[in-house]
Amino acid sequence: MYKNIEKNSKIQLKEQIEYQTNQIVSKTLVQNEHVGITLFSFDKGEEISTHASGGDAMVTVLEGVGRFTVGEEVFVLNEGETLVMPKGIPHSVYGEEKFKMQLIVSF
């Protein structure tokens, strides 16, 4: 089920993905018909434009600060904070500064 990550070992999720200048980097850990788990790193100012998900999407900021727009509401999340974005509601993600997050989508 899990890929791209060491098993049976204590790890820090934020250390499993690196920043790249002027880019968003993603690393898929699980993807199947029930759940998707992906790590992301955003350089400052990078953005995933408005889209809707086919499942509820839970994000946890692992490092830095990210801005999440869900429908008409804006949420600024810092390290350790989590937000659930409901299925079918348009949302976007913006790097207020460099930041890393874990995304879990349940279908």
Written as one letter, the residue type at 70 is V
Q: Which two tokens stand for residue 13?
A: 């999720």
Q: pLDDT, tens digit, for every residue of 34-52? A: 999 999 999 999 999 999 9
69 within 8 A of 47, measured Cβ to Cβ? no
Counted residue by residue, the chain has a size of 107
The string of pLDDT tens digits covering residues 76-92 is 999 999 999 999 999 99
Looking at residues 64-76, what average pLDDT do you find? 98
Taking residues 14-19, report their average pLDDT.
98
Sign of CA dihedral 4, 34, 83, 22: positive
Beta carbons within 8 Å of 100's beta carbon, 6+ residues apart:
13, 14, 17, 19, 39, 40, 41, 42, 61, 62, 63, 64
Q: Is 1's pLDDT higher than 90?
A: no
Which domains, from first to last, does the chain contain?
Answer: 13-106 (2.60.120.10)
Model pTM above 0.85: yes
